[in-house]
Amino acid sequence: MFKIALCVLVLAGLSACHAPERAEVSSVAPLGARSGHSFTYLDEAGVRQTALLAGVRGADTRASRDHLQGLLEEAGDALMLIETEAGRDRYDRPVVLALFDREADEAQLDAEMVRSGQAMVWPRPDADQRALVLYALEAEARQSGAGGWGSGQFAIRDPDPDRLAQHLDSAQIIEGRVVAVGEARNGRLYLNFGLNWRTDFTVSLNRADRERFEAQGLSDPAQLDGAVIRVRGWLYAENGPMIHVASPAQIEILDAPDPRPLP
């Protein structure tokens, strides 16, 4: 049930390349890339602003920043920004779709960054569908060893807590089987990838995060006990390595257990 619902969401996301009809489109003058997923520009009032690309996170390399810089230079004054439903981050930077016409073939900067392997898919709450659109491009880049996938900047890691300890405080993708599911009294959910919750790799979701699954027609992630999943997010230390999931698109279900009871 969960897996089928997620597939439906992915298919819906494939048609989400454009922002909602009511979204405001702004033509801006790009100034330069700050990273592989952020850049500065002059808005229509001539004020310097910084924006984040929806759905991606660039590799922490000069190559990633330079690739985005090249795209910005190619776009020039034809660059158009559309603010997504993700709104702005805590630093008041808009989370945007950025697109321009390349010989009448519309290009989007986030897709170009993922296709080149210079950025990974990075779901944000309320911008889930855009991230889902990019997963197919990321798979192609990973298989071909493009950009950060070939250099080792990006990798799909196993949930071994000792190996993950070498990558704390960074953006990571981890794949493994959920060994146990626990729930705190406040509704916070824990997906454990080992037998000792004090030291193993864990995925956490609070009550509001779980409600996003329900709002998108997905089953409660508490039903993922025994499933093989791939999860991405910021890896930090809390009773072992942990990733907090705020968006359903952060979890890819690779193998879900059959929910039907055994005869």
* pLDDT, tens digit (0-9, with 9 covering 90-100), for 144-169: 999 999 999 999 999 999 999 999 99
Q: Answer for the pair 36, 68: CB distance below 8 angstroms, yes or no.
A: yes
* pLDDT, tens digit (0-9, with 9 covering 90-100), for 76-109: 988 999 998 889 999 999 999 999 877 655 689 9
User: What is 155-255's CATH topology?
Assistant: OB fold (Dihydrolipoamide Acetyltransferase, E2P) (2.40.50)
Q: Where are the domains of the chain?
A: 18-141, 155-255
* pLDDT, tens digit (0-9, with 9 covering 90-100), for 246-258: 999 999 999 987 6
CATH numeric code, 18-141 = 2.40.50.90
Give the C-alpha separation, 52 to 260, whole Å: 43
Q: Is 112 exposed, middle or buried (0-12, 13-18, 19+ CB in 10 A)?
A: buried
Average pLDDT over residues 256-261: 65
Examine domains 18-141 and 155-255 and report if their fold is the same: yes
Helix H or strand E segment including 50: strand 48-53
* pLDDT, tens digit (0-9, with 9 covering 90-100), for 178-203: 999 999 999 899 999 999 999 999 99
Q: Answer for the pair 249, 128: CB distance below 8 angstroms, yes or no.
A: yes
Q: Can you give the pTM of this predicted structure?
A: 0.86
